[in-house]
Amino acid sequence: MARSLNQVTLMGNLTRDPELRQTPNGQNVTSFSLALNRSYKDSSGEWQEATDYIDIVCWGPLAERVAQYLSKGRRCLVQGRLQSRSWEQDGQKRSKVEVLANDVTFLDSRGADSDNGGNANQNSSDEKPSEDKPKPSKKTKEEDVVIEDIGDEPINLDDIPF
């Protein structure tokens, strides 16, 4: 049997607050929808705007982080795979295609009250800083942070410890 590839990367804005639920066996699951804006030329050559709405599902610890840190209107990058499911409702067969997320990156800031990272997985904690609000600096009494300017010297990638 030939191998298949099912990989999706989407960037958009949440259309509603994420909804966190628990399965009967205690597993966390969060669902939300992304609005994806696009432009295209119609048959007369005029540019048109369109929006696609895609349902996203997250499980486990990722579901908890998404529900805690994302809200309606926020931008995020979702990486995952397409999955289809079907069920019967009121005697009618229904089906749906959605994205099962394995990584969600938060792309905009929640404001100065948030000091959490921008990535919902545990591999990264980089968040794009807010353009209009500078983040307050945090300094402890015992420790002052000093950032050295390395000038225009090229960085040797072998010197980076990770």
Q: Report whether pLDDT(123) > 60.
A: no
pLDDT tops 60 at residue 131: no
Task: Write the pLDDT tens digit of every residue in 81-106.
Answer: 999 999 999 999 999 999 999 999 99
Residue 116 has pLDDT above 90, yes or no: no
Domain boundaries, given as residue ranges, for the chain: 8-159
pLDDT of 2 > 60? The answer is yes
How many Cβ atoms sit within 10 Å of the Cβ of residue 94? 10
SS3 64: helix
Longest dimension (CA), the chain: 69
Q: 8-159, what's its fold?
A: OB fold (Dihydrolipoamide Acetyltransferase, E2P) (2.40.50)
Is the distance from CB of 65 to CB of 120 less than 8 angstroms?
Answer: yes
pLDDT score of 134 more than 90: no
pLDDT in tens, 145-158: 555 555 555 666 66
What integer pLDDT is reported at residue 117 of this predicted model? 42
Beta 75-89 vs 47-59: how paired, if at all?
unpaired
Q: If pLDDT is split at 50, 70 and 90, which confidence band does 127 have?
A: very low
